[in-house]
Amino acid sequence: MRRNLFPLLCCLLAAGCATSPAPGRGPLGAPASLPAISFPADALVTQRAVLTALGRQYPLNGYLALSAAGGRRLIVTGTVGAVLADVLVKPDGTVFVMRSSKQFRPKWIQRYIAGDLMCIFGGTPDAACPMQRLSENHFMIKRRWYKLDLQIVETKPGPQPAEMFDETHK
């Protein structure tokens, strides 16, 4: 009797499941392959994020100006619009903290905010980049002390004002 069940079991396993994978998912429920991350060389990107640190969640807004010649300028605000961090990353990778706050100190901005900025928007992320791409406009960064859940709300292509990328102009 066991010999008769083996071919039947093989047929059932080969047939697979009758349901289709969830949208955005590939075979066996794994995330479907996404196109390579690409953003316009010159654009203004509006973001919404939730920062989870020490068990608490903090909603944030981000406004990122991208310039092929000038670099990347990110302004992070809280829910009431107060600027929490303002950072400029030049094309050569030099980081300038333009403005900090009590919530985000300059060293933290330089190390983590600029690092996360380059992890997602820097072109090719390096091996130390703890980013997971959940969808075309949804990213998750998990580090030891915090988790950043970032969604891109809007991307407006076009040149940005040159003074936004001048580290001497605050």
Query: What is the pTM (predicted TM-score) of this model?
Result: 0.77
Residue 115 lies in a domain: yes
Q: What is the pLDDT at residue 33?
A: 59
Could you tell me if 130 and 143 are in contact, meaning their C-beta atoms sit under 8 angstroms apart?
yes
Instruction: Answer yes or no: is 9 within a domain.
Output: no
Residue 5 falls within a domain, yes or no?
no
Q: How are beta strands 131-135 and 138-142 bridged, if at all?
A: antiparallel
In-domain check, residue 85: yes
Domains of the chain: total:
1
Closest CA to 63 of 99, 36, 34, 93: 99
Domain membership flag for residue 8 = no
Q: Quote the pLDDT of residue 82.
A: 94
25 lies in a domain? no
Instruction: Tell me how far apart the alpha carbons of residues 149 and 145 are, in angstroms, rounded to a whole number.
Output: 14
Residue 82 belongs to domain spanning: 43-165
pLDDT of residue 86 exceeding 90, the answer is: yes
Residue 35 is predicted with a pLDDT of 67
3-state secondary structure 15-35: HCCCCCCCCCECHHHCECCCC
Span 96-149, pLDDT tens digits: 999 999 999 999 999 999 999 999 998 666 667 889 999 999 999 999 889 999
